[in-house]
Amino acid sequence: MKISFLIHNAYGIGGTIATTFNLAAALAERHDVEIVSVLRHREHPNLTSHPGVRLRALVDLRREKDHPLHGRPARVFPAAEYRHHQYSELTDERIAACLADIDTDVVVGTRPGLNVHLALQAPEHVARVGQEHLTLDHHPPALRTALRRAYRGLDVLTTVTEADAASYRRKTRLPGVRVEALPNSVPTPVLPAADGTGKVVVAAGRLVPVKRYDLIIEAFARVAAEFPDWQLRIYGRGEERDRLRALIETLGLWNNVFLLGAVTPMEAEWVKGSIGAAASDYEPFGMTLVEAMRCGLPVVSTDCPYGPGEIIRDGEDGRLVPVGDTAAFGTALLGLVRDDERRRRMGRAALTNAERFAPGPVVAQAERLLQEAIDARNGARGGTPERTGAHHTLVSRGHATRDLAHVAASRALRTLRKARR
């Protein structure tokens, strides 16, 4: 297969970027893979890409930030999408041109706005797979409305949890579009797993309010009071750093809690710990949970929508506690700190259970979905693929929906051309 991923900015840092790089690298072992980054702001990506994965950008902000068209708001990329302010008539034009000329079997979009471009503008011969890395309920109503209309032009829509897949099927009712959960994968660690002896709790991710690092710090204060030789190490950067630093000072935890900035890759830091911690109010998946477990750490996490409950088996390989409950979080941490044998046993279970998120099983599922989408689209154009099960489902959509999508795309492009005149 020839596979293209369409991503917002492959040169930044974030869960979607890491997930895309991981999946692209695994697929590149057997397929022809490229990553198309809409934006680029630096010479080299933060993450190391697989040597077999080509990387190209459509708009280089180092040279084109002041391009006249980049000062005009995007018309195709939906206005209600979170990243809309970073898109423009220039990105509309470049994405449309990229899709019109793309030489690939399947294009995979990696965020709602890009999935809309894909659904409306991909050529007829290309299979269209949209990925949802957040959740349907996370999106504002205006965006959900736009997605219900545009996503009819997709062949497959993947979510990172079964719960969100069920939500999409129930609330969007996309005729003929296959909706299936495809979890994120984490590469097999190269370092030996944690042995449960390190007196360290590790947390990692963006320092933003929804991640609730303040709750982790407050809960850890109980651990530090009883076990002053234990540490909490928090890795990441973001707007909450100063507030978290002030909280550490207020609680007198300067010898126990450390804000250590962003580290990539995190594997060497996970294996220094014995417990992972995550306290989000909301988590579409939970890449850091899987990363910690793949390094042999049991994880204490809030049981928030949607990911943690599908990753952690409470009491077996980690603990799930109510959202926002500092006392329960502290009790769960203390339960593992106090009991060395339980902590190590749960760490071994985490290592075993997290294998389901290894590239092997996830990539096998992705390959199946992509190939079936390609076969179904070839069948819709007059080929003779096997027309059973999922294949039949993928080609069952009426031509009217497809025609409407192309009409919408054509109108959008005509509007762009008129605006430029």
**Predicted confidence (pLDDT) per residue in 228-251, tens digit:** 999 999 999 999 999 999 999 999
pLDDT at 28 over 50: yes
pLDDT at 420 over 60: no
Q: Does 308 fall in a domain?
A: yes
Distance CA 339, CA 45 (A): 42
pLDDT at 331: 98
Do residues 391 and 385 lie in contact, with contact meaning Cβ atoms separated by under 8 Å? yes
Q: Does 278 fall in a domain?
A: yes
Distance CA 373, CA 367 (A): 10
Arithmetic mean of pLDDT over the chain = 90
Rounded alpha-carbon distances, angstroms, from residue 371 to 2, 105, 128, 169: 10, 9, 11, 22
Do residues 138 and 97 lie in contact, with contact meaning Cβ atoms separated by under 8 Å? no
Distance CA 344, CA 298 (A): 8
pLDDT band at 6 (very low <50, low <70, confident <90, very high): very high
Q: Does 190 fall in a domain?
A: no
pLDDT at 380 over 90: no
Q: Are 171 and 289 part of one and the same domain?
A: no
pLDDT at 382 over 90: no
pLDDT at 264: 81
pLDDT tens per residue, range 288-323: 999 999 999 999 999 998 899 999 999 999 999 999
Q: Are 334 and 372 part of one and the same domain?
A: no
Q: Are 87 and 233 part of one and the same domain?
A: no
Q: Are 289 and 373 part of one and the same domain?
A: no
Q: Are 37 and 180 part of one and the same domain?
A: yes
Q: Are 225 and 172 part of one and the same domain?
A: no
Q: Does 192 fall in a domain?
A: no
pLDDT at 329 over 90: yes
pLDDT tens per residue, range 164-195: 999 999 999 898 899 999 999 888 899 999 99
Q: Where a domain ends, among 336, 357, 378? A: 357
Q: Are 300 and 321 part of one and the same domain?
A: yes
pLDDT tens per residue, range 87-118: 999 999 999 999 999 999 999 999 999 999 99
Do residues 223 and 334 lie in contact, with contact meaning Cβ atoms separated by under 8 Å? yes
pLDDT at 176: 87
What mean pLDDT do residues 335-355 have?
97
pLDDT at 370 over 80: yes
Q: Where a domain ends, among 324, 357, 390? A: 357
Q: Are 35 and 63 part of one and the same domain?
A: yes
Q: Does 126 fall in a domain?
A: yes
Q: Does 206 fall in a domain?
A: yes
pLDDT at 41 over 70: yes
Tokens of 111: 């965020």
pLDDT at 381: 56
pLDDT at 419: 44
Which percentage of the chain shows pLDDT scores above 70?
A: 90
pLDDT at 357: 92
Q: Does 376 fall in a domain?
A: yes
Domain count within the chain: 2
Q: Which residue range(s) make up the domain with 255?
A: 200-357
- Amino acid at position 148, single letter: R
Do residues 104 and 35 lie in contact, with contact meaning Cβ atoms separated by under 8 Å? no
Q: Are 352 and 366 part of one and the same domain?
A: no
Distance CA 373, CA 118 (A): 14
* 3-state SS track over the chain: CEEEEEECCCCCCCHHHHHHHHHHHHHCCCCEEEEEEEEECCCCCCCCCCCCEEEEEEEEHHHHCCCHHHHCECCCCCCCCCCHHHCEHHHHHHHHHHHHHCCCCEEEECCHHHHHHHHHHCCCCCEEEEEECCCHHHCCHHHHHHHHHHHHHCCEEEECCHHHHHHHHHHHCCCCCEEEECCCCCCCCCCCCCCCCCCEEEEECCCCHHHCHHHHHHHHHHHHHHCCCCEEEEECCCCCHHHHHHHHHHCCCCCCEEECCCCCCCHHHHCCCCEEEECCCCECCCHHHHHHHHCCCCEEEECCCECHHHHCCECCCEEEECCCCHHHHHHHHHHHHHCHHHHHHHHHHHHHHHHHHCHHHHHHHHHHHHHHHHHHHHHHCCCCCCCCCHHHHHHCCCHHHHHHHHHHHHHHHHHHHHHHC
Q: Where a domain ends, among 315, 332, 357? A: 357
Q: Does 194 fall in a domain?
A: no
Q: Are 390 and 318 part of one and the same domain?
A: no
